[in-house]
Amino acid sequence: MIPRYTPDDIGALWSESHRVKTWLAVEVAACEAMAEAGLLPADDVQQIRRAADGVDPDRLAARALEIEATTKHDVIAFLTAFEEVAGPVARHVHFGMTSSDVLDTSLALRLVESAGLIRGAVDGLMAAVRSQAEAHRRTPMIGRSHGIHAEPITFGLVMASWYAELLRNRRRLDAATDEIRVGKISGAVGTNAHLPPAVETHALAALGLTPETVATQVVARDRHAQFFGTLATIAASVERFSVQVRHLQRTEVREAEEPFTVGQKGSSAMPHKRNPILTENLTGLARLMRGWAQAAYENVALWHERDISHSSVERVIAPDATITLVFMLRRMTRVIDGLVVYPDRMRENLEQMKGLVFSQPVLLALTRKGLGRQEAYEIVQRNAMRVWDEGVDLRSALLADGQLMEKISREEIEACFDLDRHLAHVDALIDRALNA
């Protein structure tokens, strides 16, 4: 991912230096498990450990790249570079293993590390959203369907729905992380022909991983597809939140807007502009996330025990998707923390429709009086159309309808326009989300 969208902490997880460190960790763990099983001399493995602990990963990575220019094979180049550092004992490194034992196990380590940062970013966004939900529990606004005014809600309820969605995403992320927390040290086609399964289990446990149930030459890519699909789902939620903020910031709506900092400029031509650039950016990045998830699904169908068509894909999507999602979550957190909310404007928009948003309570009141639903609907709709066409308010239109007033009292009509009655259960719904 380009530097513009790369936070330092997660960017470091995908550096050449960290890649080499995880490769070394896998090789050393395997050697130590072999020594424990009596397959390698313990003294030699201790020397391997000291060499690995003392090596400069930046220099080792640079040397491996130099060698790879000749070998055209990254793992062989890495092993050759480490042999230059460790000396004769390095002959034991990679014993009975194949390249994918290192590559897939290392990838698992870095994906799990990345997932930890993603989870922390999800938690940060949840905290910001929760704060807004509490602050605006009783801030009334209009709910919209099809982009059209529907019925009253509160801004706190909107935030609570976002919180519940993020909680679901956190659970999905945990499940996907467990799914990807696997490696393999089982050899060329996964048969453990040269290393017993106990060595694999021991080595992977030292790394915090478990063995692939039945490996081929690689860990099965359905696991990765679930992981990257989950990241795309989280990004889609961020996009949903972003689209809502973008709509609320429209001039005609102006119920909430992104923070606009001192010295910030909105347009090179129009000094008055305050544009929703942060959430527009997040909408665009979510599109990339879905594309990378699609690529992960394409990787599932490898030939036989494996080909390497997945390799080039994962070199791109593993760093780019994890880095981008951390960036997205943290940017959305800043948006929510600094969100400027306009309760008065929300109230103005709620009242803009001259009471039309209370049409359903009138409909239900008439059915309770014994009218058929269609008859009641026609009566209310007839008066609602007067609001649209003549500009009268709904309450006045209803009270002037002689046919209607024969069936219901003035007091019962007035009660239908009680906002507090409409929002009576909002606190319970918000509590249900925040206490889940």
* Domain containing residue 64: CATH number: 1.10.275.10
Whether 127 and 247 share a structural domain: yes
The whole-number pLDDT of residue 262 equals 87
The whole-number pLDDT of residue 151 equals 96
Domain ends where: 60, 78, 95? Answer: 95
Domain ends where: 39, 62, 95? Answer: 95
- 323 is a domain residue: yes
> What is the per-residue pLDDT across 162-207, written as a single tens digit (0 to 9) for each?
999 999 999 999 999 999 999 999 999 999 999 999 999 999 999 9
> Are 318 and 110 within 8 A, CB to CB?
yes
Whether 144 and 76 share a structural domain: no
Whether 388 and 275 share a structural domain: no
Told to judge if 272 belongs to the known catalytic residues of this protein, a careful annotator would answer: no
Q: pLDDT of the chain along its 436 residues, tens only?
A: 899 999 999 999 999 999 999 999 999 999 999 999 999 999 999 999 999 999 999 999 999 999 999 999 999 999 999 999 999 999 999 999 999 999 999 999 999 999 999 999 999 999 999 999 999 999 999 999 999 999 999 999 999 999 999 999 999 999 999 999 999 999 999 999 999 999 999 999 999 999 999 999 999 999 999 999 999 999 999 999 999 999 999 999 999 999 998 898 888 899 999 999 999 999 999 999 999 999 999 999 999 999 999 999 999 999 999 999 999 999 999 999 999 999 999 999 999 999 999 999 999 999 999 999 999 999 999 999 999 999 999 999 999 999 899 999 999 999 999 999 999 999 999 999 999 8
- 142 is a domain residue: yes
Instruction: Tell me which DSSP letter residue 161 carries.
Output: H
Q: Which residue bears the tokens 């259960």? A: 425
- 53 is a domain residue: yes
- 108 is a domain residue: yes
Q: Which residue bears the tokens 């001039």? A: 251
The whole-number pLDDT of residue 261 equals 87
The whole-number pLDDT of residue 403 equals 87
CATH of the domain at 361: 1.10.40.30
Distances (CA, A) of 201 to 196, 204, 213, 255: 9, 5, 11, 56
Whether 13 and 43 share a structural domain: yes
- Structural domain boundaries enclosing 111: 98-258+268-350+423-436
Q: Which of 146, 268, 272, 304 is catalytic?
A: 146
Burial class (CB in 10 A: 0-12, 13-18, 19+), 403: exposed
Q: How far apart, in whole angstroms, are the C-alpha atoms of residue 209 and residue 227?
A: 16
Whether 329 and 366 share a structural domain: no
Whether 177 and 38 share a structural domain: no
Whether 241 and 172 share a structural domain: yes
Whether 202 and 142 share a structural domain: yes
Whether 43 and 164 share a structural domain: no
Q: Which of 267, 309, 312, 409 is catalytic?
A: 267
CATH of the domain at 182: 1.20.200.10
Whether 87 and 67 share a structural domain: yes
The whole-number pLDDT of residue 1 equals 85
Q: 271-289: string of b/e by CB count within 10 Å (b at 16+)?
A: eeebbbebbebbbebbebb
Whether 373 and 293 share a structural domain: no
Whether 190 and 49 share a structural domain: no
Domain ends where: 36, 61, 95? Answer: 95
| This prediction's pTM | 0.95
- 263 is a domain residue: no
Please state the domain count of the chain.
3
Told to judge if 161 belongs to the known catalytic residues of this protein, a careful annotator would answer: no
- 290 is a domain residue: yes
